[in-house]
Structure 1
Amino acid sequence: MDKLSAMQAYCRIVDRGSFTRAAEDLGVSAALLSREVSRLEASLGVALLSRTTRRMTLTEAGRTYYDEALVILQAVGSFEERIQKTAGVVSGHLKVNAPSSFGQVVVAPMLPGFCKQYPDLRVSLTLDDRVIDMVEGGFDLTLRIRSSMKDSTLRARKLGEVRVGIFASADYLARNGSPTTPEDIRHHQTCGYLLSEHLDTWDLTGPGGEISVPVDPKVRVGNSFVLVELLVAGMGLGTLPDFISGPAEEAGVLVRVLPDYALPTRAVWAVLPAGARQDGRVGAFLRALKEAISDLHS
């Protein structure tokens, strides 16, 4: 058993509070993670998790192991980063592909500082909302925003999460009223993002539990910035990720609708071609991007 991998898997399970969600993050099956934890518990001679059909809790030993494992994993990460820097491996040409809006709002602002930190590295950033062929495009890395990554031919690493909410302009709400329950959405005009995983159905979770609301967007666009403009112009309700909605909401040009309800959280995935090795170029970029994503929610 690879103890380091087992530690990483165990910590992810604890962080996510679920074998299933941890398995989605790591790109493996929940059954595999369960066997991994069982082997870990057997090697330690103690139970780390108390599992029932409904919930999972940490034992006292499980909490101690989690706390200590985090320290070890952080130390390993710091050590690898120091080795990479002293070895001078952050050089060459890095080709990155990202969704248009995410690339402009999150990736582009971090690039100047990143390039100054690694002056021997050249970066090519391509923005495209559609899923591209990484091998054909010659990309070292592509970024995707979706609930899960199920393509077994790719290597994916989760960098962070994106929250999604419902928004409209104050003018539209003044003219049409503001929904007070998810069912009210059926009586409103909507606008949609063509490549969204929830274009025709909004799955909401809130005080009333989970509810799926069918929608039929009057206008459907392939760019998030165009969607924002439509919503600001009073064309109806629409869903936006937090990195897009934040500035518009702070400026008061968009209002959050049904603030106690949210659509499923999306993850930011870093995807490498099958068989590709994460070298110093990719590792340095992912560390910088993960920090930029973290800053969105700070």
Structure 2
Amino acid sequence: MQNGAMFDWNDLKAFLAVARGGSTLAAARTLKINQTTVARRIEALETALGLKLFERGQAGSRLTEAGEDLLAEAERMEVSAKAFANRAGAHQRGLAGTLRVTSTEILANLAITPALVGFRELYPDVKVDLILSDLPLDLAAGEADVAIRAGQALTVSDLVARKLADFEFALYCSRDYAARRGLPATLEDLRQHDLIGGEGGRMALPGTRWMFEQVPGAVPAHSSNSMTNLNLAVKAGLGVAPIGCLLADLDPDLIQVWPPIPDLGASAWVVTRAEMKDTLRVRAFIDFIVPHFATLRRTLEAQGAAMKAQKAAAVVAFPKTG
């Protein structure tokens, strides 16, 4: 082979078609070009490589030893070329590239990460980067492309949102805590209990704020600036705190101290910038995650109801304070 020899990709396609079909005529039919063009392409490739690739005869074209050796390499190049073309097409359709999605760790662990397997199967050229934070990133400033946010209401803005689900919150403690400290008979009895609060922006959560409004002047026995860690603190037995019922009811170690708090439910939304809502990879992600949340919610509610029924009988065994 001559150093630096170059060849046309169409010549390589002709080489593969002749090798597979056994003749220039069969290759011409496969490639939908005339036989003379196939023969010319094979000749051009042999000239560029400085090698004879086929032995021609009455029965057709048979690979030479060099042709046999190069066939596997040509097939690998064909696979790479097809992958290149497919990925370029995906970019043209807007279904390739990176999608930066921000959410809380709880929502990511519960719903988003498990959904990414199915999303990747549908859109293999879209890479989802998760940015986890309990505090919202600034989508308008481009800190992320899509956000999945939870709260009582969305801030008025130019962002575009679709609701994913509604959630109830209630006060919970662990079985260990209830065995040691009992359960409050009234909300005023919360004064006799260890209350778990948040630091930074977390103290402003409606459920946490409501709990401390019931016992003015109470000081948190434990605080955390992470919602995930706050939930774990309740499970560890450090005290009482408001937790989303959908998750807490699934946990056999958690006891509902007080029924769901009226008017303090929260919702989850998927949010993006107005100029990005029609970007195909953004639209594909939103159209995928909305029904996924709906299905997951129904599944978790059914599982939670069954677990809650099992836990209900055991609650009466814990002493009531007050």
TM-score (ref. length: structure 1): 0.60
Quote the offset at 1:159 in angstroms: 1.7
1:233 aligned to which of 212, 232, 236:
236
- Could you tell me how far apart the structure 1 residues matched to 2:190 and 2:262 are? 13
1:167-182 map, 5 Å? 167-182=172-187
- Could you tell me how far apart the structure 2 residues matched to 1:222 and 1:263 are? 24
- Could you tell me how far apart the structure 1 residues matched to 2:124 and 2:238 are? 46
* Aligned CA distance change for structure 1 residues 193 and 162 (closer, same or farther; 3 Å): farther
- Could you tell me how far apart the structure 2 residues matched to 1:150 and 1:271 are? 11
Match of 1:102 in 2: 107
* Aligned CA distance change for structure 1 residues 138 and 258 (closer, same or farther; 3 Å): closer
Identity across the alignment (%): 27
Quote the offset at 1:274 in angstroms: 4.9
Quote the offset at 1:89 in angstroms: 4.8
- Could you tell me how far apart the structure 2 residues matched to 1:297 and 1:184 are? 34
Match of 2:59 in 1: none
Match of 2:205 in 1: 197
Cα deviation 1:225-252 (Å, max 9, x = unaligned): 32233222221101112354244x2xx2
* Aligned CA distance change for structure 1 residues 277 and 238 (closer, same or farther; 3 Å): same
- Could you tell me how far apart the structure 1 residues matched to 2:263 and 2:180 are? 25
1:220 aligned to which of 218, 223, 235:
223
Counterpart amino acid of residue 177 in structure 1: G
Residue 155 (1) aligns with residue 160 (2): yes
2:121 aligned to which of 116, 122, 137:
116
Higher-helix-fraction structure: 2
- Could you tell me how far apart the structure 2 residues matched to 1:213 and 1:297 are? 35
Match of 1:269 in 2: 269
- Could you tell me how far apart the structure 2 residues matched to 1:261 and 1:180 are? 16
* Aligned CA distance change for structure 1 residues 285 and 222 (closer, same or farther; 3 Å): same
- Could you tell me how far apart the structure 2 residues matched to 1:137 and 1:169 are? 40
1:1-298 map, 5 Å? 89-194=94-199, 195=202, 196-198=204-206, 201-202=209-210, 214=216, 216-247=219-250, 249=251, 252-259=252-259, 261=261, 264-294=264-294, 295-298=296-299
Tell me if the contact between 1:191 and 1:238 (Cα under 8 Å) persists in the aligned partners.
yes
RMSD across aligned positions (CA): 2.9
Counterpart amino acid of residue 137 in structure 2: I
- Could you tell me how far apart the structure 2 residues matched to 1:221 and 1:271 are? 26
| Structure 2 counterpart SS, 1:119 | coil
Tell me if the contact between 1:165 and 1:263 (Cα under 8 Å) persists in the aligned partners.
no
Tell me if the contact between 1:203 and 1:264 (Cα under 8 Å) persists in the aligned partners.
no
Quote the offset at 1:259 in angstroms: 3.1
Counterpart amino acid of residue 224 in structure 2: V
Counterpart amino acid of residue 206 in structure 2: H
* Aligned CA distance change for structure 1 residues 193 and 241 (closer, same or farther; 3 Å): farther
Tell me if the contact between 1:94 and 1:282 (Cα under 8 Å) persists in the aligned partners.
yes
Counterpart amino acid of residue 122 in structure 1: K
- Could you tell me how far apart the structure 2 residues matched to 1:264 and 1:203 are? 11
Counterpart amino acid of residue 277 in structure 1: K
- Could you tell me how far apart the structure 2 residues matched to 1:95 and 1:254 are? 34
* Aligned CA distance change for structure 1 residues 163 and 260 (closer, same or farther; 3 Å): closer
Which stretches in structure 1 are left out of the alignment for 5+ residues?
1-84, 205-210
Quote the offset at 1:88 in angstroms: 5.2
Q: Which moved more, 1:287-296 or 1:164-173?
A: 287-296
- Could you tell me how far apart the structure 2 residues matched to 1:133 and 1:145 are? 15
Match of 1:43 in 2: none
- Could you tell me how far apart the structure 2 residues matched to 1:237 and 1:280 are? 44
Name which structure has the greater RCO, CA cutoff 8 Å, separation 6+.
Answer: 1
Counterpart amino acid of residue 222 in structure 1: N
Q: How many residues align?
A: 204
| Structure 2 counterpart SS, 1:284 | helix
TM-score (ref. length: structure 2): 0.56
